[in-house]
């Protein structure tokens, strides 16, 4: 488990946001922490966004032991 200071948050990247250059467009202070895992969550594409002309990724809880594994950044 990672200790997160009150003024930081963990971000589980997906797709193009795994690229350092891409994540720094919207969050220049983001830094790689490590590979993370969220047990009992799965990646899903629920809400349509006109900006992307499609659904953006989110995580949703599940009773099954599905692991959403991605890079953590703050």
Residues annotated within a binding site: 11-16
| Backbone phi, psi, residue 56, to 5° | -95, 160
Per the annotation, binding residues for substrate are: 11-16
State the first-to-last Cα distance of the chain, in angstroms, to the nearest integer: 14
Cβ atoms 34, 69 nearer than 8 A: no
What are the C-alpha distances in Å from 29 to residues 13, 39, 60? 15, 27, 26
């Amino acid at each position: 488990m990672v200790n997160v200071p009150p003024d930081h948050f963990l971000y589980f990247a997906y797709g193009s946001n795994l690229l350092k250059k891409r994540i720094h467009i919207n969050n220049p202070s983001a830094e790689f922490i490590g590979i993370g895992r969220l047990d009992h969550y799965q990646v899903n594409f629920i809400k349509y966004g006109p900006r992307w002309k499609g659904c953006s990724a989110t995580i949703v809880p599940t009773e099954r032991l599905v692991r959403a594994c991605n890079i953590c950044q703050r």
